[in-house]
Structure 1
């Protein structure tokens, strides 16, 4: 047999590049699917993100089984070798340590050659592999660079190693563990990014649908017929029942904003039967309407007829003209319990509580300064 002393075949072959792209694609798609599934709360997508690498790994294992069977069927060649150098390249966290060996292998009847490889060696056995020591090795005949030191050779080979004197071979040095080419690493990264982007684009409507995020969240009591819908942290939420209705604004919003209050009342009215109100209470980000029970004779009013556009000016007058220099909270209440429509604004600050009352034409009829 003639040993070819060229380096092991490069791994940046078309098959290796295709495999690298496929591996990167599986990694990128599974990670993106799991993250997107968590964001949009899709259990099947999360399961797919976890299951895809497992399925790919199983298929890869099964596809490589025939090759591994053929390699295992090859009878390894046994030879003597002399240690040219050694270097520990792994930590000693366990009793074994990874050692980088440089050997001259001298098979029977064929030219000697140099090879470099790594192998785990027990710490107590390291002195047995010092420079110049002859050892027994094995390797597949068709892959001479895959050399392994035989730690417990047969008595015959152990006796031959003890009596042998081998000369060093100048080279070239075969490398047992051939590193990946740059092409494989590049296509793997490209496949990862491409697959991740494809998953995000496929579910972009669920992730970035701005229209859905602007819709109010509707949670209903047992007497409500409204169905829940999703909302973002910056949108409003709404609760509707036969007895009351509330709208809560998200951060950076206020019912003092132009048109905001009338819009919220419209949301409560839309899709529901016409009901008169007993009380309307407005705070900075909370609107509450209490409805009159069916058949009730209590004094009510039409919630859609209120002068909502004039309420912000009324609140501003109460906040700035009643002796509260730094009002912390305010509340506007509309009711008709006394027979006529009454609009009352109460503000609270460090100086105390102040209030004003206005009639149905938003004309102030009473002011109570802070005290």
Structure 2
């Protein structure tokens, strides 16, 4: 049999492949972005969506392909003889099946012969049965003649035809499963959809991602303070990023202890960086007391700063401010403790410094 004519391969459905690639990229991008964004903003529904989206898409893709697979399975494959032009092992373990790249001339009984290249797994023990110039039996779908597979154990009828067949090589072109140009286009479409979907998820939740960072600090300032009030005392503890040296923080904390009612008489007010303690006078006590609201709180941060910077304490570690009137008049005392030094100053009821005790 002499073969001189080669049929041209049919065109693939490029628009369908592009749409499929675009959808696949979109699902991958949206799923990954939903997982990352959901983890950052601690959104369980968004995180679960990121996990479930690929599964739903895969199920829909499988269901959409069922009719096509049923139609393809219903069509009986065609059987033909083919001449081995060349073969090359491309991968595989030495003791198992290896992937072999075949170049065949396929000669159907009722159609024009053609060349085709494909890869098929062949057991090492059967490799000697396939050699250039040899004849084999192949099968392929009638509507996709490039999807050729070698029949490893043909029927006796086809074995008899193989024994007496001689096929001439057909010239190119050589059919392959996919055109490289289409693969590149589909790949670019998939990548573009992936980036667009990921960017869309980030933009959709940009307020939670970026604005939340700007609003975190005020919300912590308002909610991280702890107030405890009893009949004998009241305390306010600030969060780790706050200080009673911040403007207005002391006055606000004292107000939270009184709750808008008339102030109770206090024996002492003690302030540290993040702790305010007020000790109230017991009922009927004759000890000298004062109104906590009468303390010049706006002056206290400046007094603490002066004690830390002007009394010779080289490395101030902690400070404590105490307000009391045990001596008859209201006294504000600021003590600073350094690595190996201590210092203090005293101020009157208006916050004016009246005595300094440098470091010693």
Which of the five TM-score ranges fits, normalised by the shorter chain? 0.7 to 0.9
Among candidates 314, 322, 344, match of residue 334 of structure 1: 322
Name the structure 2 match of 1:217.
Answer: 220
For 1:199 and 1:268, the matched residues in 2 are separated by 46
Q: Does 1:60 align with 2:51?
A: no
Among candidates 184, 187, 193, match of residue 195 of structure 2: 193
Q: Does 1:316 align with 2:319?
A: no
TM-score normalised by structure 1 residue count: 0.78
Alignment of 1:280-299 (within 5 A): 280-283=270-273, 287-292=274-279
Name the structure 2 match of 1:47.
Answer: 48
Contact in 1 for aligned 2:254/2:292 (Cα 8 Å): no
Q: Does 1:352 align with 2:341?
A: yes
Instruction: Measure how far apart 1:164 and its partner are.
Output: 3.1
Instruction: Give SS of 2:61's match.
Output: helix
For 1:314 and 1:195, the matched residues in 2 are separated by 57
Change over 3 Å in CA distance of 1:201–1:72 after alignment to 2? same
Name the structure 2 match of 1:10.
Answer: 12
Contact in 2 for aligned 1:323/1:351 (Cα 8 Å): no
Instruction: Give SS of 1:171's match.
Output: coil
TM-score normalised by structure 2 residue count: 0.80
Question: Gapped runs of 5+ residues in structure 1?
Answer: 219-227, 230-236
Instruction: Measure how far apart 1:255 and its partner are.
Output: 5.4
Instruction: Give SS of 2:57's match.
Output: helix
Instruction: Give SS of 1:39's match.
Output: helix
Change over 3 Å in CA distance of 1:308–1:6 after alignment to 2? farther
Aligned residues: 343
Instruction: Measure how far apart 1:163 and its partner are.
Output: 4.1
Larger radius of gyration, structure 1 or 2?
A: 2
Contact in 2 for aligned 1:330/1:345 (Cα 8 Å): no
Instruction: Measure how far apart 1:305 and its partner are.
Output: 4.6
Instruction: Give SS of 1:324's match.
Output: coil
Change over 3 Å in CA distance of 1:10–1:340 after alignment to 2? farther
* Comparing 155-164 and 45-54, the one that deviates more: 155-164
Change over 3 Å in CA distance of 1:320–1:264 after alignment to 2? closer
For 1:49 and 1:137, the matched residues in 2 are separated by 45
- Tell me the C-alpha RMSD between the 2 structures: 3.4
Q: Does 1:273 align with 2:259?
A: yes
Instruction: Measure how far apart 1:74 and its partner are.
Output: 1.0
Deviations, residues 27-53 of structure 1 (Å, cap 9, x unaligned): 222222222222222212211111111
Change over 3 Å in CA distance of 1:365–1:89 after alignment to 2? farther
Instruction: Measure how far apart 1:91 and its partner are.
Output: 5.1
Alignment of 1:28-107 (within 5 A): 28-90=29-91, 92=93, 95-107=96-108
Instruction: Measure how far apart 1:245 and its partner are.
Output: 1.8
Instruction: Give SS of 2:14's match.
Output: coil
Contact in 2 for aligned 1:11/1:181 (Cα 8 Å): no
Contact in 2 for aligned 1:99/1:121 (Cα 8 Å): yes
For 2:132 and 2:100, the matched residues in 1 are separated by 13
Instruction: Give SS of 1:69's match.
Output: helix
